[in-house]
Amino acid sequence: MSFFGLLLILSFLLLPFLWVIREVRAINFWLYLWQLKEYHAGRLIDHFRTFKGRSTLFNISNIVKILLLLLWLWLIPSFSFDGRLASQGYDTVVNSFTISITILYALETLKYIRDGIQKRVLKPITTFKINILRPPLLLLVIFSAFYFSILSLDRSTMGSFISSFLIFDLLTPIFVSAVVLVFQPFAVLGRNRILAQARAKRAGMRHLKVVGITGSYGKTTTKEILAHVLAAKFKVAKTQKHQNSEIGVSRAILDNLKPEHEVFVCEMGAYNKGGIRLLAGIAQPQIAVLTGANEQHLATFGSMENLLSAEGGKELVEALPADEVAIFNGANIHTRKLYKETTKKKILVGLGGAVFAEEVKAEQEKIVFRIAAQVSRPQERASLAQQDWVGGEALVTAPLLGAHNTENILLAAAVALELGMTLEEIAQVLKTLPQGVGAMTLKRGKGGLHIIDSSYSANPSGVLADLEYLKVWPGKKVIVMPSLIELGKASKEVHEKIGRKIAEVCDLAVITTQDHVADIQRGAGDKKKNILYIPDWKKIVDTIQSFCQAEDVVLLGGRVPPQIMQNLAL
């Protein structure tokens, strides 16, 4: 038997097996992507506006498959199947296609194995929903592989055997998305059931004080600071990590809230107008905290008006009972405007507000400032929203990185004052904030390098604040970050602003994703040569190690490859 003949036999045997491996990986990837985007079609669509998203669909492997399929469809008319054997050359073409596609899938399988060894395989976190979605997709793949293989038994359908694998392969994103959308009504029913249970449980806890926190940025940090401060005097429950969706908030109520809890600190996030109103209907907050709004998620909201309605805080303020209070971050233009417009009881924090900071000093591992407030006389304790006050102040030393955290502390302090704590009590508790409360954490790197992990600052205000913090460090300053996503029509302007800030602060910037690199460089002006696009983590590590010396600082912002931290940190 010739080498070609042996290769052909192996191809017919291996092709279905290799194809199944490829499809299992593809199904896991597309389920991962849907899960990452929280099954939100708008977020998924926006993902494909990025270079990384487009390359998911239009990569070299898919282009080769499309070309092979088009070539095959072009050749088909030259063959006849009118009861006679296929015309001359048919076998040669089919055999060549079979071997070519088998080799292509073999290469993809080897890459899959390599990614698995390097722990780079992207797959969804196992949840109840994933356990519902994955089995029918896998059964469809197994059945299809069996059916397509049967086609190879008849010479007249061998071509369909080849083309069917390719067509199914290329349409996998559509198949997965179709299954996700088909099951969506059932998911909505299950979701509504959980929401109703959470709403009922919360309504039954009449003694509970609920603080709702929303905004485009600072929600999680403010929540963590507030929960820590209030825990010194109350029994406190909170939403966990970045648990701020309707399911996340409902699960926190059902799983975390106990009868003995006195305060529930609830982080609230949304991607559509009406999202915060829905959350407020579940958690029923009596105090609203508005951290600030920016262009983050503008792509999913569709307009700034819709964004300001939800994460801007308007819906949360409107949901408050008439005699309850809303607390606004005066440092943000959007929340300050809403403060002026609302007729509800309200407190402004920051310059010109009822709670404010003076003599703010940001150091490498802490911030120090004097917190001042218009506080009521002890015997006449009322609400900060009322204006019968005498002055009060205390010195705050908090182990947080960056002066911008002053805003989060002021918001938390305003809530604590409303609930009866004193400035002195608040200042004492702030000294004991645990590591990791803020969005940034400081780590020691190899060779005396300082590394700042800011994985969750993937929004315009967060990036700009992180860059401002770098100013407290001597030596060379480096930022590694991806371009920001879901900014919609504001993307260009935002990235140019980031470029200007990088030029002001940094000696080197590495952008890990291709989108908007040109906008960042344009914003940097004459210093655009210091802004590099490097997608490969090994090259990034090598660049940093050759550029930096002991006592230099590297800021890792947003979702950069984890191998960078693993190779730079001690």
Is 328:322 a contact under the CB 8 Å cutoff?
A: no
Instruction: Check whether residue 327 and residue 373 sit in a common domain.
Output: yes
Q: Look up the CATH number of the domain holding residue 400.
A: 3.40.1190.10
Instruction: Check whether residue 451 and residue 421 sit in a common domain.
Output: no
Sheet arrangement for strand 450-454: 441-444, 450-454, 553-557, 477-481, 508-511, 531-533
Query: At what angle are helices 90-117 and 158-170 packed, to 10 degrees?
Result: 30
In whole angstroms, give the CA distance from residue 495 to residue 305: 21
Indicate if the alpha-carbon torsion angle 215, 218, 220, 225 is positive or negative: negative
Neighbours of 226 (CB within 10 A): 28
Neighbours of 443 (CB within 10 A): 15
**Final residue of a structural domain among 150, 183, 216:** 183
Phi, psi of 471 (to 5 degrees): -60, -25
Give a yes or no: residue 244 inside a domain. Answer: yes
In whole angstroms, give the CA distance from residue 148 to residue 167: 11
CA angle 569, 220, 474 (to 5 degrees): 40
| Collapsed DSSP state (helix, strand, coil) of residue 521 | helix
Burial class (CB in 10 A: 0-12, 13-18, 19+), 449: buried
* DSSP character string of 476-529: -EEEEEPPP-S-GGGHHHHHHHHHHHHHHH-SEEEE-SSTTHHHHHHHHGGGGG
Which tokens go with 340?
A: 């002026």
Instruction: Check whether residue 97 and residue 217 sit in a common domain.
Output: no
Cα torsion 376, 378, 379, 385 to 10°: value is 30
Instruction: Check whether residue 401 and residue 451 sit in a common domain.
Output: no
**Final residue of a structural domain among 393, 411, 430:** 430
What pLDDT was estimated at residue 87?
A: 55
Closest CA to 482 of 508, 450, 520: 520
Query: At what angle are helices 172-204 and 275-283 packed, to 10 degrees?
Result: 40
Cα torsion 320, 322, 323, 325 to 10°: value is 40
| Collapsed DSSP state (helix, strand, coil) of residue 223 | helix
Which tokens go with 241?
A: 């990590």
Instruction: Check whether residue 270 and residue 312 sit in a common domain.
Output: yes
What pLDDT was estimated at residue 378?
A: 46
**Domains in the chain: how many in total?**
3
Give a yes or no: residue 189 inside a domain. Answer: no
* DSSP character string of 403-464: TTHHHHHHHHHHHHHHTT--HHHHHHHHTTPPTT-SS-EEEEBGGG-EEEEETT--SHHHHH
Give a yes or no: residue 139 inside a domain. Answer: yes
Give a yes or no: residue 172 inside a domain. Answer: yes
Q: What is the distance, to the nearest Å, from the Cα of residue 89 to the centroid of all Cα atoms in its chain? A: 53
| Collapsed DSSP state (helix, strand, coil) of residue 485 | coil
Q: Which residues contact 11 (CB under 8 A, 6 or more apart)?
A: 98, 99, 101, 102
pLDDT along the chain (570 residues), means of 10: 72 87 95 91 88 89 91 72 54 82 92 87 90 92 86 71 88 94 89 94 94 94 96 95 89 94 96 94 96 88 90 94 92 94 91 90 94 63 52 88 95 93 93 87 92 87 94 95 91 95 96 94 94 94 94 93 90
Instruction: Check whether residue 450 and residue 403 sit in a common domain.
Output: no
Instruction: Check whether residue 426 and residue 447 sit in a common domain.
Output: no
Q: Look up the CATH number of the domain holding residue 502.
A: 3.90.190.20
**Total length of the chain:** 570
Give a yes or no: residue 195 inside a domain. Answer: no
Residue 88 C-beta-side C-alpha neighbours within 13 Å: 0
Instruction: Check whether residue 237 and residue 142 sit in a common domain.
Output: no
Closest CA to 209 of 377, 55, 419: 419
Query: At what angle are helices 172-204 and 246-256 packed, to 10 degrees?
Result: 40
Closest CA to 524 of 487, 495, 555: 495
Which tokens go with 521?
A: 């460089």
In the block, tokens 């004097």 appear at 370
Instruction: Check whether residue 209 and residue 240 sit in a common domain.
Output: yes
Q: What is the distance, to the nearest Å, from the Cα of residue 544 to the centroid of all Cα atoms in its chain? A: 26
Closest CA to 368 of 415, 452, 430, 423: 430
**What single-letter DSSP state applies at residue 348?**
E
Which tokens go with 440?
A: 């940034």
**Final residue of a structural domain among 398, 430, 462:** 430
In whole angstroms, give the CA distance from residue 368 to residue 278: 38
Which tokens go with 401?
A: 């990185």
Instruction: Check whether residue 383 and residue 426 sit in a common domain.
Output: yes
Phi, psi of 34 (to 5 degrees): -60, -45
Residue 475 C-beta-side C-alpha neighbours within 13 Å: 15
What pLDDT was estimated at residue 558?
A: 87
Give a yes or no: residue 191 inside a domain. Answer: no
Give a yes or no: residue 198 inside a domain. Answer: no
Give a yes or no: residue 296 inside a domain. Answer: yes
Instruction: Check whether residue 217 and residue 166 sit in a common domain.
Output: no
What pLDDT was estimated at residue 12?
A: 78
Structural domain harbouring 273 = 205-430
Neighbours of 506 (CB within 10 A): 21
What pLDDT was estimated at residue 18?
A: 93
In whole angstroms, give the CA distance from residue 289 to residue 325: 9
Instruction: Check whether residue 369 and residue 396 sit in a common domain.
Output: yes
Write the single-letter amino acid at 182: V
Closest CA to 525 of 498, 555, 557: 498
